[in-house]
A and B are shown apart, each in its own frame.
Chain A
Amino acid sequence: MARASIVPPKRHSSVSARTFLPLAVIFAVLIGATFLPPDSSLSEVDRTGRLSVCMPDAYPPLVTGDPDQPGFDVELLQAITDRLGWRLNIVSNTAMGRNFNPRTWRINRAQCQMLAGGIALNPTTKSFLDTSNPYLETGWAFAAAPDITFKEIEGPVGVFVGLTGLDRIALGQFLRERDVAVVIVDSANALVSGLEDGAFLAAITEALLAEHTFVGTGYAIDFMPPPFEQLPLGLGFWKGDLTLKRKIEVVLDELRAEQFIDALASEYGITDALQH
């Protein structure tokens, strides 16, 4: 049996605005709830007036130990705490920067509320820390005469591993695969003198240190070619400390807008490593 067709009425009552009023109220309540502080991290720092930050004892140019030029991260954090009316308390940790496995750092919430001084924003770090937006980037870099690319280098290469947490094993494998002779040196300055003496044709070290060391020497600095990647750097927070992280990020954005971070990078000779 054939069904009769449905004839839509010419006029039908529409859903009134009043119908949506409870829904609008509900969304207003929920959006209002998002402004509740989800944790006490910020109020705790406000209460004590002190921000404790765990850092490596030396990781130039981010942390230098020099009172006149204490390091990029130290000065950045000082500017942040000054702006928020807090006192900066630096907690030095020698294991940071020496080992890329954060388990060995033995840092806990009782020691510090934040981590800085070369916190790489990689999946390993992010698995136990929350992080700010990156402001610098690092990685393995090489310095050589301006007209030489890394592929052209056949002679010995000077390497200063230093305190970096970058993957040394990958670097070693990469250089061995290319059958490049390696000269291990014990300081960044030895890289400069080695290049000048002709002891090696290129120097490899961590990018920020390379920029800081080779600034004004006439040598060109570039990141190592693939498979090496550039690692973004930022500030580390304990997971769950959302209120503190949000506050610090607001100040970081202000400092970035005021060109303070650019000026600081220029002061430490690491403008190429800035992340915009």
Chain B
Amino acid sequence: MAMKETTSAIFGQMYGVYAIWLREVTRALRDTGQLIGGVSRPLLWVVILGIGLNPYFRGEVYGEVRFVVPYTYLQFIFPAVVVLNILYTSIQSAVSLIWDREFGFLREVLVSPMARNMVLLGKILGGATTAVVHGCMVLALARFAGVALTWVDVFQALMLMFVLAFGLTSFGIVLAVHVRGFESFGVFSNAVILPLYFTASSIFPLDPALTRAQMLVAYPEWLVLIVELNPLTYAIDAMRGILIDFNQFDPVLGLQVVGIMMVSLFALALLAFRKV
């Protein structure tokens, strides 16, 4: 009897997670602004910026062959734009927490029999799913960027995208808990997302062929330090390893950092969500 009740309670909690997940995904699918953002980013970053800068990163410079890293600029930036779309969408998904808090939905959910942690899990899973879909929008441009993908590559990329999206949505929740209004949340786009992205070796490579001393000749020390401290650097590096078979750091390091990000940011989100 007790066993049956426990099973029923677990099933009920899981159903609650599913319901919140479905609500988050449906809301995201109906959010035209978010969808337009999801499609405009890959078009602008891959199609326009990628083509625009591609000639300056080719393997030759006006009459002399130069030894460069084994990719085109389009190929180099492609995995970074996948991560950019995930970063934006994950953090934007967390905006729904402010909506839910403002309009009372969150209060209704929190007084329901559903455990608070399960509510959070449903929201994060919903945000992560949406972010993975947005990451897939960039993958649709693989042929354009000259990135040859096998089914194994796609599967590995989806796994990494989900783990990353889970961590970043948790991060968005932590931010959203501490923000009182939508206006303040808009600031994060410029204050958090773009700085994280630009300092993650997303648009310029730290050449792995160079020693650290040589790299410090090419770039100022403070920039190399910021890039190396930014955990997103290793997430993008892991994505590059999967999609274009190129790593600037130890390939295992990227996966470890993304895994640690997921666990630690989810733990932070759990702590933060108690204050809601």
Contacts and interface: CB of A to CB of B under 8 A. Distances in A.
* Max chain B Cβ within 10 angstroms of own Cβ: one of A6, A12, A20, A123: A6
Interface in A133-161: none
Contact of B54 (A6, A12, A38): A38
Contacts of B29: 15, 19-20, 22-23
B32 interface: yes
Contacts of B5: 5
A33 B35 contact: no
Contact of A6 (B16, B66, B141): B16
Interface stretch (B68-76, B151-159, B189-197, B255-263): B68-76
Interface string A31-69: 101111011000000000000000000000000000000
Interface string B24-37: 01100110100100
10 contacts: A15-B26, A15-B29, A19-B29, A33-B47, A35-B144, A127-B69, A127-B70, A128-B68, A240-B73, A242-B72
Contacts of B19: 12
Contacts of A239: 58-59, 68, 71-72
User: Top 9 nearest A-B pairs by Cβ distance?
Assistant: A6-B12, A128-B59, A30-B140, A34-B144, A34-B143, A239-B59, A4-B113, A3-B113, A108-B63
Interface of B: 5, 8-9, 11-13, 15-16, 19, 22, 25-26, 29-30, 32, 35, 38-39, 42-43, 47, 50-51, 54-55, 57-60, 62-74, 112-115, 133, 137, 140-146
Contacts of A109: 58, 60
A39 B113 contact: no
A6 B115 CA distance: 10
A26 B114 contact: no
Given A39-B54, A128-B68, 9 more contacts: A8-B12, A22-B35, A38-B74, A108-B62, A109-B60, A126-B70, A127-B67, A128-B67, A240-B57
A136 to B, nearest CB: 21
Nearest to A16: B26
A97 to B, nearest CB: 15
Interface string A115-134: 00000000100111110000
Contacts of B35: 22-23, 26
B61 to A, nearest CB: 8
A206 B11 CA distance: 69
A142 B252 CA distance: 41
A31 B140 contact: yes
B30 A19 contact: yes
Given A7-B12, A108-B64, A240 B141 contact: no
B141 A106 contact: no
Question: Is chain B's binding surface mostly helix, strand, loop or mixed?
Answer: helix
Nearest to B32: A22
Contact of B58 (A36, A126, A240): A240
A107 B146 contact: no
B43 to A, nearest CB: 6
A102 to B, nearest CB: 6
Interface residues on A, range: 35 or more
A103 B67 CA distance: 7
Contacts of A23: 29, 35, 133
A33 B40 CA distance: 12
A238 B66 CA distance: 12
Nearest to B35: A22
B59 A3 contact: no
A105 to B, nearest CB: 7
A214 to B, nearest CB: 35
Contact of B42 (A8, A30, A39, A108): A30
A123 B19 CA distance: 50
B15 A33 contact: no
Contact of A240 (B32, B72, B115, B137): B72
B249 to A, nearest CB: 18
Contact of B146 (A105, A127, A129, A242): A242
Nearest to B146: A242
Contacts of B26: 15, 19
Contacts of B146: 38, 130, 242
Given A6-B16, A239-B72, A38 B60 contact: no
A29 interface: yes
